[in-house]
Chains A and B, each alone.
Chain A
Amino acid sequence: MTYSTYEQGTSAVKARKAPRAPSESRLAAILNTPAVILILVLLAFPIANSLWISLHRYDLKRPGDTPFIGLKNYTDALSSDAFWHSLKVTGLFAFFAVLGVTATGIAIALLLNESFKGRGILRSLILLPWAMPPVVNGIMWAWIFNGRYGAFNGLLYDLGLIDAYRLWLTDIKLAWVVLVFAYVWNQLPFVVIVMLSALQAIPNELYDAARVDRANTVQAFFNVTLPWLWQALLIVLILQTMGALRIFDIVYVMTSGGPGNATDVVAWLTWRTAFQFLDFGKGNTYAIIVSVITLALAVLYIKVLLKRGEFAV
């Protein structure tokens, strides 16, 4: 492994222009400065600031009156039924959304890994949901599941599966099922693409070996395919879970947390607390609690990635 890099080699040449050729670490420092400054100012500082604000009573309705109250926002949050309810709703949503999108995604990836006519078209088509902004996705599904004029009701009715129209989005039990449905459709391409590329990386020799051992399709799937997919699957699961825990856009346009508080997810509660009730202290506290929960997932993800990095190259 040679690290003979550009700058070392050119130092003699460059000496004419620059009095001292920058060393590799100096060049690296220069190159990383803009990115690091931007991230420190607009990501790291806000996080620290957010922690700080969460220790204060910071209510925009009472300007100039922001006393330090220690952990009171946290104890309030943890004893608030609304917050626990939103955690429960978010967790349930994330569980079913991740389960749905992963299972459907793997099924479609397996299909697209087979050879059949029109596979190329289907592989292009799968990018369509990815191109759709979540807000448009939400509006589209809300219109499809519209209780009075919706296409879904019309379809089920035409097929004779229901004898009366259903109010999907205003039914406490059905509303979040519709949310999961809309979310899965939107997120599917990512899962399919990652899983498909993992499938394509499986060496064919393994399947030859499995055939020699007289393994059937199911056995080959569990003994050859699945172990190879494991790493990609883990990454998909982590990223999808983090995404689902942050769900906001489609809740905003489809249910507004309703009916009642049936789909009052954490991001929605945070947004309302901060920007409708103008209680930034409490809003920040909710945001921090959620961040801590997703932090564990983030650490896991980084570990998986960097571990792979050592094997690569």
Chain B
Amino acid sequence: MTRQPSTTPLRYRVPWKKIAIYAMAIIVGIYILAPFTWLIITSLMVEVETLEIPPHWIPHNPTLQNYRAFFDPEFRGLEMQRGTMAYSGGSVQRMRPALRNSAVVAFSVAILNLTIGSMAAYSLARLRFRGSRPLLVFYLGSRMLPAVSIIIPMYMILRRLGILDNVLSLIISYTTLTLPFSIWILKSYFQTIPRDLEDAARVDRCNWLNMMIRVFLPVAAPGLVAAGIFSFLISWKDFLFALMFTATDASKTIPVVVAEFVGPGQTPRTLMATGGVLAVIPPLILALIFQRLIVQGLVAGAVKG
């Protein structure tokens, strides 16, 4: 896959190039890591420590009380004694329903995407039918619509359906938004699967649905996982739609709650940082576990025709 040193003829064998590469690697590493590290460090601080000038790069009294505050509703920590918990309590309590809503929405969207998406993708990858090309352009084109231009009418439709401020509204809208992309990566993955499989299933007198469930989809699992993760993450990370369609804790997702932390002196910075870290952890875990699939999926989704 990657070029090995021995087969990289243009590599100059002078040490300064190696030095330059390592120097750049370190700079890139710091550039990627430093901002997030600072967020984690802040989440480990006591609130007053964030007000130090110059900033303490390493917390003098590192504490996990901010994390405890999110998960233990009875917890009254140091913040309380300083009187800041009074207004931080609200945001802390909203975080748990928000985590739940985000998980429910993202999981449902992923499942719906895989079901509806693999049906359409299979037809585009395998079947020859009239109108397959226009259909392809239709799916591709709907991927390109700017969110701002559909959100107002979508809001009006959902209001008429009476599902505003309901996770259902987010599940439906995210599924529609992510579907074209899912179809696209599923199609490009399905095309890499040899046809022999289906032929073998045919010999075994297996009907189409059985063939899909027992033979085809298991083989296509990597593609399905990639598509599932992408739709999960797009739903998890979205802010604009969640901001418009949700109003109360019944449906607010994490980005909305986290964004509410940013008010005129509303929430202690340490709690804000903690909320941020918590919102990043699920996507980050997925990204690290399924790194290879995600990389392949991103490339296939963007570049492959």
Contact A50 B150 (CB under 8 A): yes
- Cα–Cα, bound, A200→B54 (Å): 44
B86: Cβ under 8 A from any A Cβ:
no
* Cβ of A268 to closest chain B Cβ, rounded Å: 10
- Cα–Cα, bound, A252→B244 (Å): 13
CB-CB contacts below 8 Å: B255-279 with A: 255, 258-259, 261-262, 269, 272-273, 276, 279
Given A31-B120, A287-B146, A302-B140: A133 in contact with B262 (beta carbons within 8 A): no
Residues on A with C-beta less than 8 A from B191 are 313
Given A14-B207, A39-B176, A125-B33: A132 in contact with B24 (beta carbons within 8 A): no
Contact among B2, B148, B276 for A200, CB-based, below 8 A: B2
Contact A27 B123 (CB under 8 A): yes
Contact B244 A275 (CB under 8 A): yes
B128: Cβ under 8 A from any A Cβ:
yes
Chain B residues within CB distance 8 Å of chain A: 1-5, 7-10, 12, 18, 21-22, 24-25, 28-29, 31-33, 35-36, 38-39, 42, 50-55, 116-117, 119-120, 122-123, 126-130, 132, 135-142, 144-154, 156-157, 172-173, 175-177, 179-180, 183, 191, 195, 198-199, 201-202, 205, 207-208, 211, 233, 236-237, 239-240, 243-244, 254-255, 258-259, 261-262, 269, 272-273, 276, 279-280, 283-284, 286-288, 291, 294-295, 298-299, 302-305
- Cα–Cα, bound, A128→B280 (Å): 9
Residues on A with C-beta less than 8 A from B283 are 131-133
Contact B9 A270 (CB under 8 A): no
A167: Cβ under 8 A from any B Cβ:
no
Contact A140 B29 (CB under 8 A): no
Since A46-B152, A252-B239, A302-B140 are in contact, a sample of 17 more A-B pairs with Cβ atoms closer than 8 Å, ordered by chain A residue number, is A10-B205, A10-B208, A25-B127, A35-B116, A39-B138, A39-B142, A43-B177, A47-B150, A133-B237, A140-B273, A143-B38, A157-B54, A200-B1, A235-B303, A239-B302, A246-B148, A306-B305
Contact among B4, B176, B299 for A43, CB-based, below 8 A: B176
Contact A50 B153 (CB under 8 A): yes
* Cβ of A66 to closest chain B Cβ, rounded Å: 12
Contact B25 A122 (CB under 8 A): yes
Interface residues on A, range: 35 or more
Residues on B with C-beta less than 8 A from A69 are none
Contact A122 B29 (CB under 8 A): yes
Quick one: closest B residue to A43, CB to CB? Answer: B142
Given A122-B25, A220-B10, A253-B259: A128 in contact with B172 (beta carbons within 8 A): no
**Stretch in contact with the other chain, from A1-9, A74-82, A93-101, A172-180:** A1-9
Q: What are 27 A-B residue pairs whose CB atoms fall within 8 Å in the complex?
A: A5-B126, A10-B207, A25-B127, A32-B120, A36-B135, A38-B179, A41-B176, A43-B145, A122-B29, A133-B239, A133-B258, A135-B258, A135-B279, A136-B276, A139-B259, A139-B272, A154-B53, A154-B54, A197-B299, A200-B1, A207-B9, A236-B302, A248-B239, A249-B240, A274-B152, A287-B148, A291-B149
Contact among B28, B122, B152, B304 for A122, CB-based, below 8 A: B28
Contact flags A246-257 to B (C-beta < 8 A → 1, else 0)? 101100110000
Contact flags A140-161 to B (C-beta < 8 A → 1, else 0)? 1111100011110010011000
A163: Cβ under 8 A from any B Cβ:
no
Contact A118 B25 (CB under 8 A): yes
Quick one: closest A residue to B4, CB to CB? Answer: A115
Residues on A with C-beta less than 8 A from B154 are 42, 46
Contact B8 A140 (CB under 8 A): no
Quick one: closest B residue to A165, CB to CB? Answer: B53
- Cα–Cα, bound, A35→B24 (Å): 46
Residues on A with C-beta less than 8 A from B287 are 127-128, 130-131
* Cβ of A186 to closest chain B Cβ, rounded Å: 10
Quick one: closest B residue to A216, CB to CB? Answer: B10
Residues on A with C-beta less than 8 A from B123 are 27-28, 31-32
Residues on A with C-beta less than 8 A from B2 are 113, 115, 200
* Cβ of A182 to closest chain B Cβ, rounded Å: 9
* Cβ of A292 to closest chain B Cβ, rounded Å: 9
Tell me what chain A mostly uses at the interface: helix, strand, loop, or mixed: helix
Contact B240 A47 (CB under 8 A): no
Residues on B with C-beta less than 8 A from A248 are 147-148, 239-240
- Cα–Cα, bound, A176→B20 (Å): 32
Contact A133 B298 (CB under 8 A): no
Contact flags A220-247 to B (C-beta < 8 A → 1, else 0)? 1000000000011001100100100110
Quick one: closest B residue to A266, CB to CB? Answer: B148
Residues on A with C-beta less than 8 A from B38 are 140, 143-144, 151
Contact B35 A185 (CB under 8 A): yes
Contact A6 B10 (CB under 8 A): no
* Cβ of A107 to closest chain B Cβ, rounded Å: 8
Residues on A with C-beta less than 8 A from B198 are 5-6
Residues on A with C-beta less than 8 A from B259 are 135, 139, 252-253
Residues on A with C-beta less than 8 A from B128 are 3, 5, 24
CB-CB contacts below 8 Å: A74-130 with B: 108, 111, 113-116, 118-119, 122-130
- Cα–Cα, bound, A47→B144 (Å): 12
